[in-house]
Amino acid sequence: MSRAEEPLLAADRRPEGAFATLRRGLRMMPEFRSGLPVTFLLALVATAGRVVVPVAVQQTLDRGLAGPGGPDLPLVRELVLGSALVVVLTGVAVHRMNVRLFRTTETALAGLRVRAFRHVHDLSVLHQQGQRRGSLVSRVTSDVDQLSVFMQWGGVLGLVSLGQLVVATVVMAVYSWQLTLLVLVCFLPLGVAVRFFARRLAHAYGIVRERVGDVLAAVGESVVGAPTVRAYGIRARTAARIDRAIDRHYRASVDAQKVTAGVYVSGELVAAIANAAVVVVGVLLGVGGQISAGTLVAFLFLVTLFVAPVQTASEVLNEAQNAIAGFRRVLDVLDTEPDVRDPAAGRSLPPGPLDVRFEHVGFSYVPGGRKALDDVDLTVPARTRVAIVGETGSGKTTFAKLVTRLMDPTEGRVLLGGVPLAEVAFASLRERVVMVPQDGFLFDASVADNVRYGRPGLTDDQVVAAFAELGLEAWVEGLPAGVATPVGQRGESLSAGERQLVAVARAYVADPDLLVLDEATSAVDPATEMRLASALDTLTDGRTTLTIAHRLSTAERADEVLVVDAGRVVQRGPHAALVDAPGPYARLHASWRRSSGRQPEPDPVG
Amino acid sequence: MPRRSDAVVRRGLRHVGRAIAEQPGIFALALLGSSLYGGMTVASAYVIGGVTDRVILPAFDEGATTAAALTLAAVVILAVAVLKIVGILGRRLFAGIMSFRLQADYRRRVTGQYLRLPLSWHQRHPTGQLLSNANSDVESAWFFVSPLPFACGAVVMIGMTVVALLLTDPLLAVVGFVVFPLVFVLNAVYSRAMSPRMARAQQLRAEVSEIAHESFDAALVVKTLGREADETARFAARATELRDGLVAVGRLRGLFDPLMEALPSLGTLAVLLVGAERVVAGTTAAGELVSIAYLFTLLALPIRAIGWVLADLPRALAGFDRVTPVLEATGRTAHGPDPAPGGQRGAALGLRDVGFGYDGAARSILQGVTFEVAAGRTLAVVGPTGAGKSTLAGLLVRLVDPRTGEVLLDGVDLRRLREGEVSSEVAFVAQSTFLFDDTVRDNVTLGAPYDDEQVHAALRIAAAEDFVARLPAGLDTRVGERGASLSGGQRQRLALARAVVRRPRLLVLDDATSAVDPAVEARILDALRAADRPVTVVVVAYRQATIALADEVVWLADGRLVDRGSHAELLARVPGYAQLVRAYQPPEPDAPDRQPAEARA
């Protein structure tokens, strides 16, 4: 995920400035805009408290101690108490502003997070590029988290700093416009350098992020590949790889720290120059009678107020860039058009078993690339059981994905029950057409809960009955707590074959009119598989079944076999007609017979 | 970790001590930088005061000034600033180095543990958790170190300020004695209140992330069953809880921040109030008052740094608490003192009364399994789904240790062998193959010194040579994360080549040839068993072609070894076995396949 690779989403390609991202974000987060003016108003009030102290110092010096009538202590007391009141009021304003800001941003971000999550489920990259799923997860988790952390820290800081900068400048100008101009001139080069600094920081932290990705990848290998590492005794080698990644990350972090420190002290240097300049010019102005001593001293205080936001900005700069980059990644999710969308006024599929029609269907995963399916034109009548066979990579799974509309064909169209798939409402489609993929993912819940996922509201007894109908009651009884047995994360407490049994049961209770099985029982032992298959056969009477077959026993029992090779249907017909005709099916079947031991067994060696 | 919240501050300070104890040298340098910065900050206040008294006020009184006085003022201001900058650079660089060193160090320790701890430990811990332990938890544990020297420098500064106050005017010092302890008290109260809220937010973040991971991994199921809306509702519920948690954090922080900001301001005002009276009374000069007031203004930022460290401590403790169990986890695979007996022939394998169950699980996966495989023989392990076959395979290569009984290699209990001995004798190919994000060559050799000829020979045996030759860079092609650029069958063949190239004395294949043509499978086994040193093979299989390659078969059901014998014997004796291996025979309506008699036909 760290290396330079193809952007994950089409929207990722676009270069975009920070402000454009913010505008796009505001458009997409309506919750954020509500009440923003009041928050800004409070931010402005908040900065007032910061100016009051230097003003109090000036007033105390000029009017309280060096006033025309000698020291005036009651005045000093009034001044100080008044200022204290302002400080307290400011504190209350800051508190109100913080709470408002946190509430609106968190609400807006939660909304954004949920919308992005929903949208990701509509994107086909999710199931087509399984290995890059992690990057999609981070868009609804760490990217949003980073934004939220930034808003709680940098957002408030940035807002108050901005206000402080404005207020400090205004008050400085009231005291002495000449000195104000001087300070601004001193800071001018820094303003110009900001772009350069931002680029350097972005570069340095870009490398850090890449190295973090490398560390995660190296650690991930040692964790996911733990059995391999142990079985092959390559602990030292694996440790060396991880340590190398950690080292490189360390060095990149230190390099980035150098840049950050450099940026920070440049602000400090400019501030010192401004201070010295203010003293020199201020004294000269004072000698000329243009300002008072108190004004000059107050001005020196005000300069620190002016400097602080500049330094804060240099602190926030990098975090802000990171947060905006994360923001952009989240927004890109929402801006990516789903390849397959629910039609606006979708039609329902006609009731009863469905026939499947492919009209000159072609599909390629990459535009203009090799065709996974090429000019497939056929009809599967309703109520038939069809097996699709072929070598790995021949296009069998593409077939299944087009029928279930996980993807739309690049050429031609697919019709179910005479209705073009693109016009069928998702609600109707998903209710009537169910696919069991090879890796039937299980949720971290009980066996029964996982089956219920296919039909919410089933009781445990109904789930048990479903397993019994599938001929799996013995397996269920063997589980420590029956259907209440927890399956663990990703179903890992069960074996690969057992997970497939649950996945088939889940599809079975969904009671679809078109059932698509994509090597759904490849890890189940042959005896159980055959029991399951014959149970499905009797139970699926009256529905259409498409089975992508790993083991040709399925093809033998099917009403019709489709043989796919290099994206084309090269043979079709019942098993009996194909098996003796010369052609790919006969070859596939011969190989299958050998492996399933239906031919004379080779002499055991030794 | 449910601990009493009033212990947080104490534990937090201990954690700070731990950080310093681990990197004392770097911390000293960072503290030096920070102290220089602190000293120069205090100095700059006195410079402003001095400039006020000696340059500004005289100039304004007399209506004239000298170039020398102005130059001096400017030079002093700049000199102090330059020293301050040196201090800042030292503080920030060394603080960064200290924090990054601690992180790198703990990452090494944590990942070292991952590699040391036995597989049974891994099986109890989800992958996502282990990744975040090594990454974000370590980062949280030491993140506070970055502002730590600043905060310690701030303590130094506060000390200097108090001394300066005492020297200037004991009455003014009282202000300091009120304000500064208040800073610490407020921080302590804040830490205590924040700690549980922070922990909850962090927990909710993890839960939101878990749902996203699970739901996206389940994409196909969610989509094909049309359950996107329910998934979104499940995610939204947790996301809303997280939002509430974060708002609760925000509320507290939103209260604390302005308080911390107001304190130095109020302190400055108090200094003015008290100071003005003292100036009038003649005990304090106006310039001194300016210095003290300026100092209070300058202290605002360093005081915040103390707050940053203290505020981050609950998070640091939470992170450290998650890392600690990994570092303290025991139960690493203990290795014995013995070398493997070795030899040129295959290894003899024996299991004696082996039982296995996961820790804490009532369900035992294997019970009382006893069998022997003579050197150079091939054994097939057959059994229904969920019988415990994969667990058995794992026991043979010591991925896990048996709960009872023993696994013997050439008569020696695997647990008595030195580290590295088992893997040098035994090769294992798992049901799901694992490839490293590395080249084809490195995935086969795994860093061992095999030359290209040996690699090619192994690839040839595993029927992988042709497809590797077609890859863009041949042996040097990177296969991508988890071998993503290859198909399942290709990955499996590389994993087989990895085992073959080692010429092991015992080869364990856990349903590892399911995507490989039977002819290829036979060729692999032939190549290994022929030649000068016939390898011993244990193969977990369903396919009859694979079973047919074995000299002997054991039938495993419900974690027990039910029967063993030749394929023909088992067909005759064990109904379940016949049913399983003959499942694909065309059904004969008048002869239900439950009848064992049929097997003899």
**Lowest mean pLDDT: which of A451-465, B237-251, B263-277, B369-383?**
B263-277
Q: Which residue of B has its CA nearest to A508?
A: B225
- Residue A411 burial (CB < 10 Å; 0-12/13-18/19+)? middle
d(CA A494, CA A126): 25
Q: Could you tell me if residue B434 is inside a domain?
A: yes
**Lowest mean pLDDT: which of A403-412, A522-531, A563-572?**
A522-531
Residues B289 and B389 in one domain: no
Question: Does pLDDT of B406 surpass 70?
Answer: yes
d(CA A7, CA A538): 47
d(CA A558, CA B348): 46
Q: Where are the domains of chain A?
A: 18-335, 356-596
d(CA B601, CA A162): 91
Q: Strand, helix or coil at B514?
A: coil
- Residue A271 corresponds to which amino acid? A
Q: Are strands A560-565 and A568-573 parallel, antiparallel or unpaired?
A: antiparallel
- Residue B6 burial (CB < 10 Å; 0-12/13-18/19+)? exposed
Which residue has 């010429």 as its token pair? Answer: B503
Residues B162 and B38 in one domain: yes
d(CA A204, CA A211): 11
Residue B318: give its domain's CATH number: 1.20.1560.10
Q: Which residue of A has its CA nearest to B594?
A: A527
Residues B429 and B318 in one domain: no
Read off the pLDDT of residues A554-565 as tens digits, 9 standing for 90 and up: 888 889 999 988
Question: Does pLDDT of B587 surpass 60?
Answer: no
**pLDDT > 70 in chain A, percent:** 93
Write the CB contacts of A324 (distance below 8 Å, at least 6 apart in sequence): A18, A21, A22
Question: Closest Cα of chain A to B13: distance in Å?
Answer: 23
The pLDDT-based confidence of B104 (bands split at 50, 70, 90) is: very high
Question: Closest Cα of chain A to B2: distance in Å?
Answer: 24
Question: Does pLDDT of B545 surpass 50?
Answer: yes
B137: which 2 tokens? 């938890």
Question: Does pLDDT of B594 surpass 70?
Answer: no
Residues B105 and B234 in one domain: yes
Residues B394 and B308 in one domain: no
For residue B298, count other CB atoms closer than 10 A to its CB: 20
Question: Does pLDDT of A154 surpass 80?
Answer: no
Read off the pLDDT of residues A165-216 as tens digits, 9 standing for 90 and up: 888 888 889 888 989 999 999 888 888 887 788 888 888 888 888 888 888 8
Q: Could you tell me if residue B107 is inside a domain?
A: yes
Residues B292 and B385 in one domain: no
Residue in B218, B261, B584 nearest the CB of A526: B584
Mutate to test the interface with B, among A104, A105, A117 (most CBs of B within 10 A): A117
A391: which 2 tokens? 């070598």
- Residue A410 corresponds to which amino acid? T
**pLDDT score at B289:** 81
At the topology level of CATH, where does A18-335 sit?
Answer: ABC transporter transmembrane region fold (1.20.1560)
**pLDDT > 90 in chain A, percent:** 21
The mean pLDDT value of chain B amounts to: 84
Q: How many domains does chain B have?
A: 2
Length of chain A: 606
Residues B405 and B457 in one domain: yes
Read off the pLDDT of residues B199-209 as tens digits, 9 standing for 90 and up: 888 888 888 98
The pLDDT-based confidence of A601 (bands split at 50, 70, 90) is: very low
**pLDDT score at A605:** 38
Hey, CA dihedral for A281, A282, A288, A290, is it positive or negative?
A: positive
Question: Does pLDDT of A3 surpass 50?
Answer: no
Residue B537 φ/ψ, nearest 5 degrees: -125, 135
**pLDDT score at B268:** 86
Which residue has 């009276």 as its token pair? Answer: B277
Long-range contacts of A102-105 (CB under 8 A, 24+ apart): A102/A151, A102/A152, A102/B246, A102/B247, A102/B249, A102/B250, A102/B251, A102/B253, A102/B254, A103/B247, A103/B250, A104/A31, A104/A32, A104/A34, A104/A35, A104/A36, A104/A39, A105/A32, A105/A148, A105/A151, A105/A152, A105/A155
- Residue A404 corresponds to which amino acid? T
Residue B369: give its domain's CATH number: 3.40.50.300
The ipTM of this complex is 0.83
Sheet holding B404-409, edge to edge: B364-373, B349-357, B404-409, B412-413
Residues B313 and B446 in one domain: no
Three-state secondary structure readout of A550-576: CCCHHHHHCCEEEEEECCEEEEEECHH
d(CA B286, CA B268): 14
**pLDDT score at A129:** 61
At the topology level of CATH, where does A356-596 sit?
Answer: Rossmann fold (3.40.50)
Hey, CA dihedral for A140, A329, A213, A319, is it positive or negative?
A: negative
Measured between beta carbons, the chain A residues lying within 8 angstroms of B106 are: none
**pLDDT score at A320:** 80
**pLDDT > 90 in chain B, percent:** 24
Question: Closest Cα of chain B to A412: distance in Å?
Answer: 22
**pLDDT score at B488:** 74
Question: How many Cα atoms occupy the beta-carbon half-sphere of A568 within 13 Å?
Answer: 4
Question: Closest Cα of chain B to A364: distance in Å?
Answer: 17
Mean per-residue pLDDT, B64-78: 87
Read off the pLDDT of residues A323-348 as tens digits, 9 standing for 90 and up: 888 888 888 888 888 878 888 888 99
Measured between beta carbons, the chain A residues lying within 8 angstroms of B507 are: none
d(CA B569, CA B599): 9
Which ranges in A29-155 belong to alpha helices (H)?
Answer: 30-33, 36-59, 73-120, 125-128, 133-140, 142-150
Long-range contacts of B557-564 (CB under 8 A, 24+ apart): B557/B383, B557/B384, B557/B387, B558/A478, B558/B387, B558/B388, B559/B364, B559/B365, B559/B366, B559/B367, B559/B369, B559/B387, B559/B388, B560/B366, B560/B367, B560/B368, B560/B369, B561/B368, B561/B369, B561/B370, B561/B371, B564/B371
First-to-last CA distance in chain A?
Answer: 49
Question: Does pLDDT of B437 surpass 70?
Answer: yes
Read off the pLDDT of residues B488-539 as tens digits, 9 standing for 90 and up: 778 888 999 999 898 888 999 988 877 676 677 777 777 777 666 688 999 9
- Residue B130 corresponds to which amino acid? L
Cβ <8 Å between A282 and B100: no
Which residue has 């190398």 as its token pair? Answer: A244
- Residue B346 corresponds to which amino acid? G
Question: Closest Cα of chain B to A154: distance in Å?
Answer: 13
**pLDDT score at B508:** 93
B153: which 2 tokens? 């420098």
d(CA A252, CA A422): 50
Question: Does pLDDT of B590 surpass 50?
Answer: no
Furthest C-alpha separation in chain A = 122
d(CA B358, CA B375): 30
Residue B586 φ/ψ, nearest 5 degrees: -55, 135
A/B interface, count of CB pairs below 8 Å: 490
- Please tell me which residue, A286 or B600, carries the higher pLDDT value: A286
Length of chain B: 601
Cβ <8 Å between B60 and A292: yes
Q: Which residue of B has its CA nearest to A296?
A: B56
A546: which 2 tokens? 């498409």
Residues B430 and B309 in one domain: no
Given a contact cutoff of 8 angstroms between Cβ atoms, the answer to whether A239 and B112 are in contact is yes
Residues B276 and B424 in one domain: no
Question: Closest Cα of chain B to A506: distance in Å?
Answer: 9
Question: Does pLDDT of B240 surpass 90?
Answer: yes
**pLDDT score at A387:** 92
The pLDDT-based confidence of B210 (bands split at 50, 70, 90) is: confident
Query: In sequence order, what E strands does A318-400 have?
Result: 356-363, 373-380, 385-389
Given a contact cutoff of 8 angstroms between Cβ atoms, the answer to whether B152 and B32 are in contact is no
Read off the pLDDT of residues A285-304 as tens digits, 9 standing for 90 and up: 888 878 887 788 888 878 87
- Residue B341 burial (CB < 10 Å; 0-12/13-18/19+)? middle
d(CA B286, CA A458): 84
The pLDDT-based confidence of B62 (bands split at 50, 70, 90) is: confident
**pLDDT score at A505:** 92
Mean per-residue pLDDT, A407-435: 91
Mean per-residue pLDDT, B464-474: 86
Residue in B96, B399, B548 nearest the CB of A227: B399
**pLDDT score at B248:** 92
DSSP string covering A294-309: HHHHHHHHHHHHHHHH
Mean per-residue pLDDT, B25-30: 94
Residue in A84, A98, A279 nearest the CB of B73: A279
Question: Does pLDDT of B600 surpass 60?
Answer: no
d(CA A453, CA A442): 10
CB-based burial, A363-380: b 16+ in 10 Å, e otherwise: bbeeeeeebbbbebeeeb
Q: Tell me which residue range forms the domain holding B477.
A: 349-586
First-to-last CA distance in chain B?
Answer: 66
The pLDDT-based confidence of A516 (bands split at 50, 70, 90) is: very high
Question: Does pLDDT of B593 surpass 50?
Answer: no
A237: which 2 tokens? 């080698």
Sheet holding A560-565, edge to edge: A433-436, A514-518, A544-548, A385-389, A560-565, A568-573
Measured between beta carbons, the chain A residues lying within 8 angstroms of B225 are: 430, 434, 453-454, 506-507, 510
**pLDDT score at A337:** 83
Residues B402 and B280 in one domain: no
CA distances from A165 to A51, A92, A279, B268 (A): 10, 20, 21, 21
Given a contact cutoff of 8 angstroms between Cβ atoms, the answer to whether A249 and A146 are in contact is no
**pLDDT score at A398:** 85
Cβ <8 Å between B294 and A301: yes
- Residue A87 burial (CB < 10 Å; 0-12/13-18/19+)? buried
Measured between beta carbons, the chain B residues lying within 8 angstroms of A247 are: 104
The mean pLDDT value of chain A amounts to: 83
A111: which 2 tokens? 């909304």
Mean per-residue pLDDT, A111-119: 91
**Lowest mean pLDDT: which of B128-132, B435-439, B593-597?**
B593-597
Q: Which residue of B has its CA nearest to A507?
A: B225
Q: Could you tell me if residue B342 is inside a domain?
A: no
Question: Does pLDDT of A602 surpass 50?
Answer: no
**Which one, of A58, A20, A53, lies nearest residue A164 by Cα?**
A53
Read off the pLDDT of residues A23-74 as tens digits, 9 standing for 90 and up: 888 787 777 777 778 887 887 787 777 778 878 877 887 777 776 777 788 8
Residues B580 and B514 in one domain: yes
Query: In sequence order, what E strands does B494-585 have?
Result: 506-510, 536-540, 552-557, 560-565
**Lowest mean pLDDT: which of B66-75, B157-166, B317-326?**
B157-166
Q: Which residues on neighbouring strands pair with residue B478, listed in sequence order? A: B439
Cβ <8 Å between B96 and A257: yes
